[in-house]
Amino acid sequence: MKSYPPSRPSVAPPNGVSRRWMLKGAVALTALGGVPARAALSDYASAYRPLAPRGHVQAAGTPQQEKFVARQRSFSLMDGQIQSDNFWSFTDDLLPVIRVPQHTPLTVTLKNELAEHTAIHWHGIRLPNAMDGVPYVTQPPIEPGDEFTYEFSPPDTGSFFFHPHCNTVEQLGRGLFGALIVTGDETEAYDDEILCVVRDWRTTAAGDLLPVGTDEGASRSGTFGNLRTTNLTQSPAYQTVAQGDVRVRLMNLDNTRVMEVGIEGAEAAIIAIDGNPVSPFPLSSWRLGPAMRLDIVMRMPTQGTVKLFDYFSAQPVLLAAFNPTGAPLRKKAFDPAPLFKSDIPTPDLTSARKVRFDFSASAQTQALQDYAAEGVPWADELCLTDKTFWAINKTAWPEDGHRQAPAPLATLRKGETCVMELVNQTPHMHPIHMHGHTFKYLSSNKRPLPPHHTDTVLLTPKERVKVAFVADNPGDWMFHCHIIEHQDTGMMGMIRVVES
Ligand SMILES: [Cu+2]
């Protein structure tokens, strides 16, 4: 076994960037000490071309069908450092990647050959409620031996992913996940594209999987893995890419880890956040909680290695390294092609309903599994744990002492704009995700960020963030922290959107 963090190759920071490298390390260290890195809005100022107006309607492609079989499989990663016949995956590829054009009908049939029920939630996709993949809430659990077919046409372009929504610590922890890329957002083709899926694995000394969380982790920042991977190889992953403007689709698909990413050795710009196009602005560093994605364009140099770092660690961790190949493709100064604007409805802030959510520790400690023992239809031992450490508005999922489905945290009328104030009362970070809708980021009391849309808002300790969205998608939608152990131990609720 190698020590943790994994040893990096003996490369020094690129010439000329050592000071920046050191500074960012210092920022990360400061943040680890509980003081989040601060940035001013001016740090995100950009002279690049802004987001392109939608201006065209993407034609749907040929309907696409996928067949998944969730079951136990054997995989060996990192030259055998992780070797287990007890991975759980959707396909014979541990990391399935679906690419589908925007608005194209996508059909995914999931056969469950696990020994427990499962489902697929399509993170960030604004789809019909019945396709959202939350057992008991949007569909019956897919029991062992059963099948369920998901059918939807992704309305938004971008970098998304999917995973189960019960016993998620274990099911996602053992490998039930994949990437969903919805194409059709590029105004000009980039010269190359790279998918970077970053996640940790917890293993025994022998390399077998240890997917379960711990009470200690669940009640704090979460349980961290001991081996870091990029695209299922040991970080850093090395890749050869074209000498031009290269798109990187970076996904943090870890259960727990918050990263602060940056690129050294190339000019780089952020072009999309959680899949949602933004007017390109320079990438200095960007913080990504679990489930968060970032699309970057970098101008590859004619020579030299470009490095993707996670600075949110005692020492910066090299996640990936890119080496240029072929002939130079771009001669003009770096000005990344912007993406097409998304079709996310514009919130009407003048008539918005304002709702405040406080994320805090929970006062509840009672066992909850007796709900399942009593046959409560919406609950079982896979969807509940026997611990509640966390709460939203003092309510843990499920509500204390009630023998009924938890009441919605809020009920919204279809079409109304909701402004949410998300208040983190804890000393920990929480990436807050809502299903079926996409937030417009409005403001923060600590960490002002440029205008963008997002499906997962990272709250730093004691931070207050305001977001807005149009509640245009009827149904019961989960609203929860995406540090999976926090979700599983109470920091989860539901928001109902009703036909007016
Ligand atoms: Cu959390």
Whether 360 is covered by a domain: the verdict is yes
Q: Are residues 374 and 479 in the same domain?
A: yes
Q: Are residues 212 and 138 in the same domain?
A: no
Q: Are residues 450 and 368 in the same domain?
A: yes
Rounded to the nearest angstrom, the distance between the alpha carbon of 267 and the centre of ligand 1 is: 33
Whether 36 is covered by a domain: the verdict is no
Query: Domain residues for 435?
Result: 349-498
pLDDT, tens digit (0-9, with 9 covering 90-100), for 439-464: 999 999 998 899 999 999 999 999 99
Ramachandran angles phi, psi of 344, nearest 5°: -70, 130
| pLDDT tier, 124 (very low <50, low <70, confident <90, very high otherwise) | very high
Rounded to the nearest angstrom, the distance between the alpha carbon of 161 and the centre of ligand 1 is: 19
Rounded to the nearest angstrom, the distance between the alpha carbon of 111 and the centre of ligand 1 is: 31
Rounded to the nearest angstrom, the distance between the alpha carbon of 87 and the centre of ligand 1 is: 25
pLDDT, tens digit (0-9, with 9 covering 90-100), for 412-429: 999 999 999 999 998 999
Above 90 in pLDDT, residue 386? no
Q: Are residues 378 and 423 in the same domain?
A: yes
Whether 13 is covered by a domain: the verdict is no
- With a threshold of 0.75, does the pTM exceed it? yes
Rounded to the nearest angstrom, the distance between the alpha carbon of 482 and the centre of ligand 1 is: 6
CATH number for the domain that contains residue 272: 2.60.40.420
Amino acid 5 reads P
Q: Which long-range contacts (CB under 8 A, 24 or more apart) does 93-96 make?
A: 94/175, 94/232, 95/177, 95/178, 95/179, 95/197, 95/231, 95/232, 96/66, 96/68, 96/178, 96/179
Rounded to the nearest angstrom, the distance between the alpha carbon of 491 and the centre of ligand 1 is: 7
Whether 19 is covered by a domain: the verdict is no
Whether 288 is covered by a domain: the verdict is yes
Q: Are residues 200 and 142 in the same domain?
A: no
Amino acid 22 reads M
Above 50 in pLDDT, residue 12? no
- Residues 309 and 343: their CA atoms lie apart, in Å, by 32
Whether 41 is covered by a domain: the verdict is no
Above 70 in pLDDT, residue 329? yes
Q: Are residues 207 and 320 in the same domain?
A: yes
Q: Are residues 219 and 318 in the same domain?
A: yes
Q: Are residues 247 and 149 in the same domain?
A: no
319 Cβ contact partners less than 8 Å away, ≥ 6 residues apart: 196, 198, 228, 230, 235, 236, 237, 259, 261, 308, 309, 310
Q: Are residues 176 and 193 in the same domain?
A: no
Q: Both tokens of residue 85? A: 């016949």
Above 80 in pLDDT, residue 489? no
Q: Are residues 354 and 490 in the same domain?
A: yes
Instruction: Please say whether the beta carbons of 110 and 68 come within 8 A.
Output: yes
**Total domains in the fold of the chain:** 3
Strands 410-413 and 492-498: parallel
Domain boundary among 149, 183, 217: 183
Whether 95 is covered by a domain: the verdict is yes
Q: Are residues 222 and 293 in the same domain?
A: yes
Domain boundary among 290, 325, 360: 325
Residue 155's nearest CA partner among 437, 423, 397 is 437
Rounded to the nearest angstrom, the distance between the alpha carbon of 460 and the centre of ligand 1 is: 10
Rounded to the nearest angstrom, the distance between the alpha carbon of 223 and the centre of ligand 1 is: 12
Q: Are residues 381 and 248 in the same domain?
A: no
